[in-house]
């Protein structure tokens, strides 16, 4: 059986999957071809359309509500024994598996784990990484600090900062994104840091921002950006290594505010599932692949053991050990059908509002209105 699969266009997203597929022998009943889509497609393309065209789809967990509404993914519970899913939950770092649980079922296998962490050029800064948002702001007065605000990331930065300030959005009440008090506190800080962000990186997604930091000296620190292990030990001799640390906290010892990313492999309803396919997926999630094969093929594993493996950390500049605490406590976004559209709209509201100097209470009112709309079935979005 030959399967048509889709991942995203970055070495972290495709190198390990392509190498694993290349090692398959079609004579044994299994072949997989992996296509790629840009990061922006991975973040926002309608999951129903992708599942109509592909057997396997690498996706982000906020898409599961849309997928359930469209009926386009097979729940893991139909394919794997309960004990196997429970073991995977124990072995996956942080909410890597639980983030794909929605409406009583799991909808993707946690292939890759990531969250927003702090990135810095240690050669441009003296001393340890700042641990709190107050320290980040103090540093920004005399060193170039950038916020990640392009695409959906203005919204994701807002969600993470609210989490650090003690109010994970929509958690206490799924109908309320954030309180006015915490929202204004976050926007006040975002406005001050956004004003100091160098113009050259304002439009760059996390990959572009990290690549820029590795090859230019005009950004010394980004307090919140999705971690990419590839930039901790770059293969390009002309690139500088980026040091990654836990996300900032509101107070020393507090929760690092960070919004979970990572990827999962979803199995579409069009897929003709065979035992050979399930065994291959089990191997990708197993200890051998996660601790050895995936890290040596530019991937970023989801298995907790890999994040604490001494050899993996020595090879990759201690990226994993230095950010694991943030991943264990990462905030999981809402996953209802309509959230993805809200995320894009909220990012635009935030980006434009901060740039124009709009009153923060007005920005928050717009966010609240769009969020409420996203949770209303059948409304135009």
On average, the pLDDT of the chain sits at 96
Q: Give the domains, in start order, of the chain with CATH numbers.
A: 2-114+261-323 (3.40.190.10), 116-259+338-374 (3.40.190.10)
Assign residue 87 a region (left: φ > 0; alpha: ψ between -120 and 50; beta: otherwise).
alpha
- Over residues 23-51, mean pLDDT: 92
Rounded to two decimals, the pTM is 0.94
Position 29 pLDDT exceeds 80:
yes
Nearest one of 152, 148, 149 to 44, comparing CA atoms: 152
d(CA 58, CA 42): 8
Orientation angle between helical segments 180-196 and 133-140, nearest 10 degrees: 30
The b-or-e profile of 325-336 (16+ CB within 10 A means b, else e) is bbbebbbbbbbb
Query: What is the model's pLDDT at position 228?
Result: 95
- List, for residues 160-219, the tens digit of each pLDDT value: 999 999 999 999 999 999 999 999 999 999 999 999 999 999 999 999 999 999 999 999
Query: pLDDT tens-digit profile of 320-329?
Result: 999 999 999 9
**Residue 200 tokens, joined:** 């050259």
* Mean local confidence (pLDDT), 18-43: 93
Per-residue pLDDT tens digits for 318-360: 999 999 999 999 999 999 999 999 999 999 999 999 999 999 9
Q: Give burial (CB, 10 Å; 0-12/13-18/19+) of 276.
A: middle
Report helix angle 180-196 to 153-164, nearest 10: 120
The whole-angstrom separation of Cα 53 and Cα 66 is 16
């Amino acid at each position: 059986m030959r399967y048509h699969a889709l991942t995203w266009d970055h070495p972290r997203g495709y190198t390990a999957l392509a190498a694993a597929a290349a090692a398959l022998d079609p004579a044994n009943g299994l072949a997989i071809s992996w296509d790629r889509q840009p990061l922006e497609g991975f973040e926002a393309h309608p999951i129903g359309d992708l599942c109509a065209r592909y057997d396997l789809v690498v996706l982000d967990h906020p898409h599961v509500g849309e997928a359930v509404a469209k009926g386009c993914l097979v729940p893991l519970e139909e394919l794997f024994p309960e004990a196997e899913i429970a073991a995977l939950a124990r072995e996956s770092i942080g909410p890597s598996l639980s983030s794909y649980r929605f409406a009583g079922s799991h909808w993707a296998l946690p292939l890759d784990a990531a969250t927003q962490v702090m990135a810095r050029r240690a050669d441009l800064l003296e001393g340890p990484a700042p641990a709190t948002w107050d320290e980040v702001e103090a540093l920004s007065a005399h060193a170039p600090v950038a916020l990640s605000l392009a695409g959906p990331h203005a919204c994701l930065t807002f969600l993470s900062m609210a989490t650090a300030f003690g109010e994970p959005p929509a958690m206490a009440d799924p109908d309320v994104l954030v309180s006015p008090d915490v929202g204004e506190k976050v926007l006040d800080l975002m406005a001050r840091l956004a004003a100091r962000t160098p113009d050259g990186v304002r439009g760059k997604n996390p990959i572009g921002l990290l690549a820029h930091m590795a090859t230019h000296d005009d950004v010394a620190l980004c307090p919140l950006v999705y971690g990419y292990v590839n930039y901790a030990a770059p293969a390009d001799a002309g690139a500088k290594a980026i040091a990654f640390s836990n996300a900032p906290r509101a107070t020393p010892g507090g929760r690092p505010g960070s919004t979970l990313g990572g990827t999962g492999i979803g199995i579409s309803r069009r897929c003709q599932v065979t035992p050979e396919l399930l065994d291959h997926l089990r191997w990708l999630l197993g200890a051998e692949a996660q601790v050895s094969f995936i890290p040596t093929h530019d991937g970023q594993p989801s298995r907790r053991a890999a994040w604490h493996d001494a050899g993996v950390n020595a090879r990759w500049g201690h990226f994993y050990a230095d950010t694991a605490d943030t991943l264990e406590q990462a905030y999981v976004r809402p996953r209802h059908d309509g959230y993805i559209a809200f995320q894009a709209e909220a990012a635009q509201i935030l980006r434009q509002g901060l740039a124009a100097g709009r009153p923060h209470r007005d920005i928050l009112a717009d966010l609240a209105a769009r969020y409420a709309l996203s949770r209303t079935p059948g409304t135009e979005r």
